[in-house]
Amino acid sequence: MDAEMEDAETRAEIEWDGGGGGADAVLALAAGGASVSLCYHQAFGRHDDLVLLEAADDLLPDLLQGRVTIRGRPDEEAVLCTPSATYSMKFVGTSNSVFLIPPGEPSAPCLRPDNTSGDANAADAVAAAIKLAPGNIELVRTAPRLDKLRSLLRERPYTLDEDLGDGFQHKKGLYTWQDLCKLIQASDGELLDGLNTLSAVEIDGFWRTVDATSMNTILDMILHNSVLHDWPLNAVPENDVLSVMESDGFAHKIVTHCLNRFGTKVEQEGRSFWSLDEKCVCLQFARRVLGAGKMKLANFMDKWKRSVPSGMRVDLQMLEGEVLYDKLGAETWVHAFSVADLPLTPAERFAALFRERLKWEWKDLQLYIRDLRVPGVSSEGLLIKYTRRTQPSSEAEPIFTAR
């Protein structure tokens, strides 16, 4: 833009009342020689408070009905969130002159450069441009940024013996739904999914994870009471288990949360029962056994089989995405390596995977990347971007290394 334009823009900007542009006259121009006189609005200027946002038709209803928020801290790139999706916001500049003409009747006539009012054609309608748009914001569907959620909830997991005081310092490391909405760059739906994935529960208005020791204690007590009261593990009566557990000093909400994590609720003849999931329960016991560190597979299997409740059968397939096997000579060793502990962004996920192992076979690698969701990018696309594939022969299994 030339000096005069810049000069005009640096002068004190006139407050714009929101109208007086004559857009209707421009939009109504039809074939047949009609004309409109275009001029700079009396309040023409930079108007940085006005922004253009590109919105696909499927997004318009959410935007026009106030179901949209922009989330992010000053040091983060902002994202736009609908109730169910997250979009990154990119400013796309233009070198063209884009005159923005608001609706409403223009309040003043155009002024000619020689300071005379009116136009050659006095019958012309008038339209007034309020600003030159430097570009617009483009929305691109993106994955929710949930890594931060995990770290926030890990600050202060719920423990069975905790006592929350009333003082503000006791609330440190605790987050309400409103807090999380302000801190996490994800839509409400995606945030709720993230909380469910992390097995979080709302306790006294704060979203928390339950620490592993406490969860183990509650699960052990449920299993112990099932044996004691002859409750089948696929039909634990809800009212009975809750009353027994509450009499033992366990909070109703935490017991329900534990049952929800390790089982599914079923209704039979007007009564509620909980069916404990064999895989979830066995996996929890496997994690306990592997808490001791790397061990021989045979030793692990033996300990694992002996630790699970009677009637439940263990299977190595239950451990997909939870453990890694290493062949050392004739022996196979096993150690915990859970997909749930890995970063959620592709770049960081692959970096963590290649820190753990320099070379990955596809059968192992796919278990650790299948949960990655990047809108518009397939698993193959991610592999091309972050890995190098080698295959000595067409029959051989492909090997993936860091790119």
Partner 1 sequence: MEIRVRCGCGDSSCPEWAVVELQGAVQPQASFSGDIRGLHIGRLCSAPSPSSSKGGYTFTVGYHELAGTKVTLKKPLLVLRKKKLTGGAADQETPTAEVVELEVIGVIRHKILFKDRPKALISKPPTKEKAAVQPAAN
Q: How far is the CB of 41 from partner 1 (least distance, A)?
A: 7
Q: How far is the CB of 37 from partner 1 (least distance, A)?
A: 6
CA distances, 282 to each of 318, 336, 375 (Å): 8, 14, 34
The span from the CA of 66 to the CA of 63, in Å, is: 5
CA dihedral 97, 59, 75, 383 (to 10 degrees): -100
The span from the CA of 79 to the CA of 140, in Å, is: 9
Which C-beta is closer to partner 1: that of 180 or that of 342? 180
Q: How far is the CB of 181 from partner 1 (least distance, A)?
A: 6
Which C-beta is closer to partner 1: that of 188 or that of 320? 188
Q: How far is the CB of 208 from partner 1 (least distance, A)?
A: 19
User: Which residues, including other chains, have CB under 8 Å from residue 159's CB and lie 6 or more apart?
Assistant: 211, 213, 214
User: Which residues, including other chains, have CB under 8 Å from residue 245's CB and lie 6 or more apart?
Assistant: 218, 221, 222, 225, 255
Which C-beta is closer to partner 1: that of 53 or that of 203? 53
User: Which residues, including other chains, have CB under 8 Å from residue 372's CB and lie 6 or more apart?
Assistant: 344, 346, 349, 379, 382
Contact in structure between 305 and 226 (CB atoms under 8 Å): no
Q: How far is the CB of 50 from partner 1 (least distance, A)?
A: 6
**Selection from 256, 338, 335, 350 nearest residue 289 by Cα:** 335
Say if strands 200-203 and 263-268 run parallel, antiparallel, or are unpaired. unpaired
Q: How far is the CB of 307 from partner 1 (least distance, A)?
A: 46
The span from the CA of 403 to the CA of 10, in Å, is: 50
Q: How far is the CB of 192 from partner 1 (least distance, A)?
A: 16
Q: How far is the CB of 172 from partner 1 (least distance, A)?
A: 13
Q: How far apart are the first and last CA of the chain?
A: 44
The span from the CA of 160 to the CA of 154, in Å, is: 16
Which C-beta is closer to partner 1: that of 6 or that of 361? 6
Which C-beta is closer to partner 1: that of 137 or that of 377? 137
Which C-beta is closer to partner 1: that of 98 or that of 295? 98
The span from the CA of 258 to the CA of 196, in Å, is: 13
Q: How far is the CB of 207 from partner 1 (least distance, A)?
A: 16
Which C-beta is closer to partner 1: that of 70 or that of 384? 70
Q: How far is the CB of 26 from partner 1 (least distance, A)?
A: 4
Instruction: Look up residue 92 and give its amino acid.
Output: V
The span from the CA of 374 to the CA of 146, in Å, is: 13
Q: Which helix (H) or strand (E) holds 223?
A: helix 212-228
